[in-house]
Structure 1
């Protein structure tokens, strides 16, 4: 199944998307996490059929629950750290992406007035939890995944020169903190367009991520190219996070970011994150 979140006159609503584009609205207040956790429930009970949705032209809300925790992973592909000249990092690098940064499919990415010159794209695959997950071993981790979605971890790169020039742990830490702050601007977290339930993805390790800038492919990588695989990410993070159904891990971006190309996002651009089997997340830049 595929789920979207829609802006409606009566407030945001979770909806199920049919293969023909038809939508069924969940009862008001229904959480995605609750639906993913209750896989045995009748998917039609209490849902209201409400026409057809054109994903290519419709602006959607972020596909996840508004109260979800989103943990992003940094430098998780071998070909990303080198082009971006990333300084050595702990084996697992993570940060929280603020809900105030999230936006939906077809919504505009806003270039901040004070930071216009180094705004970058980062296409990522996200896992969405379908069960409470705390301290699980890697061999059981896949069973906790309820679905998949996409994120563009838009990033202000203003701190990168300071990070690359850091010569002391204090300088490096300050620059790293500034870099994480550069990911928190409003609209810097497009996520969606849909959440696809895990049963629809036959082989998650074979998923291939692409990012396109104005139609040109700028990133491409398979899930199996990650430094730390999905099961290991879930296991390590769950040693500390008690993840709830609906919470998210965004698994990192591959090489090809604008930092490595000397080509940052500009007003008038359009950036898409595409994974066959999940969908295409597209956002204009304003």
Structure 2
């Protein structure tokens, strides 16, 4: 099942994608796709609905983030060995965790705004994990039972802020518009094994990232279990799990970064695609 939210920012309506790829309006059934709708029981109730009985969403409706009410946006750094190598950093012994401000979350096709004074804004296609039920000290064997579904995330990053200005990575990760999410929340039963998904990203039509979740150092189940030892994961929380090689920081013969007018296209197998225009 693919769930989404459509409409103007702050006024999105809940949607479900039918077998033909059309968005159907779920607002007669639920008020939103948020923390209260992400348990296995609630998702099963939505999956039992025949989408063709619901009205179509307006043509070319804007897509918002596929889940509302996210309270924690947690990211994992250097979780692909080849990305760690291109960044000139050692492969971590344990997951590297940081946070992205929830204020950076936006729809999958909304414009990306370069921060004031930015010189090194970068792209990162990532597999997002949306938590469905509260997770605290969960065993790795049980971790995926706490996952509602998966989504595409562009973990945009300002590298100067992140790496050259001291302190934690967070300051380069949560700039406004630096968290495009969606287009869909795809439930785990439709995705299957989350460690077999192809990933890609283009800048201005040039393929710069190609990878697969199979090469993650720490898989989804490991990450959910590990993070739950340090914080309680709540329904609607999002974990973004790292990126394959090909980011701007790792370009050869020298790095290059986003500029006004660039267009970013990205996608993950089974999870859909995003497109953002970069504005100044």
TM-score by length of 2: 0.87
Q: Distance in 2 between matches of 1:216 and 1:200?
A: 30
1:141-160 to 2 correspondence within 5 Å?
Answer: 141-159=143-161
**Which residue, out of 207, 219, 232, partners 2:222?**
232
The 8 Å contact of residues 34 and 69 in structure 2, kept in 1 or not, is answered as: no
For 2:71 and 2:19, how far apart are their aligned partners in 1? 26
Separation in structure 1 between the aligned mates of residue 163 and residue 233 of structure 2, nearest angstrom? 35
Per the normalisation by structure 1, the TM-score is 0.86
Where does residue 255 of structure 1 map in the other structure?
245
- Residues 113 and 17 (structure 1 numbering): CA distance in 2 closer, same or farther, change over 3 Å? same
2:89 is matched with 86
29-38 vs 67-76, which deviates more? 29-38
Could you say which residue in structure 2 is the equivalent of 1:112?
115
Which residue does the alignment assign to 1:197? 187
Distance in structure 1 (CA, Å) of the matches to 2:203 and 2:31: 36
C-alpha distance after superposition, 1:11-46 (max 9, x if no partner): 32221121220412235643433222123325539x
Structure 1 CA distance for aligned equivalents of residues 198 and 9 of structure 2: 37
Shift of 1:160: 6.1
My pick for the range that moved more, 85-94 or 241-250, is 85-94
Aligned 8 A contact 1:17 1:24 in 2:
no
The structural deviation recorded for 1:9 is 9.8
SS of match in other structure, 2:5: strand
Aligned partner of 1:140 in structure 2 is 142
In 1: Cα distance, 2:90 partner to 2:43 partner:
43
Shift of 1:135: 1.0
Match of 1:217 in 2: 207
Q: Which residue number in structure 1 is paired with residue 129 of structure 2?
A: 127
Unaligned runs of 5+ in 1: 163-173
**1:90 Cα deviation (Å)?**
6.3
Query: Contact 1:105 / 1:283 at 8 angstroms: preserved in 2?
Result: yes
**Alignment counterpart, residue 80 of structure 2, candidates 64, 77, 101:** 77
**Which stretches of structure 1, 4 residues or more, deviate above 4 A after TM superposition?**
87-90
Query: Contact 1:26–1:48 at 8 Å: present in 2 too?
Result: no
**For residues 71 and 77 of structure 1, what CA distance do their matches in structure 2 show?**
17
Contact kept in structure 1, 2:81 and 2:91, CA below 8 Å: no
Which of 49, 56, 59 is equivalent to 1:44? 49
Tell me whether 62-71 or 129-138 shows the greater mean CA deviation.
Answer: 62-71
Deviation, 1:52, is: 4.5
What is the count of residue pairs matched by the alignment? Answer: 271
Q: Cα deviations across residues 175-221 of structure 1 (Å, max 9, x unaligned)?
A: 252x4201111111111111111110122221111111122221122
SS at match of 2:192: coil
Q: Secondary structure at the match of 1:192?
A: coil
What is the CA RMSD across the aligned residues, in angstroms?
A: 2.5
Partner of 1:279: 272
SS in 2 for 1:205: helix
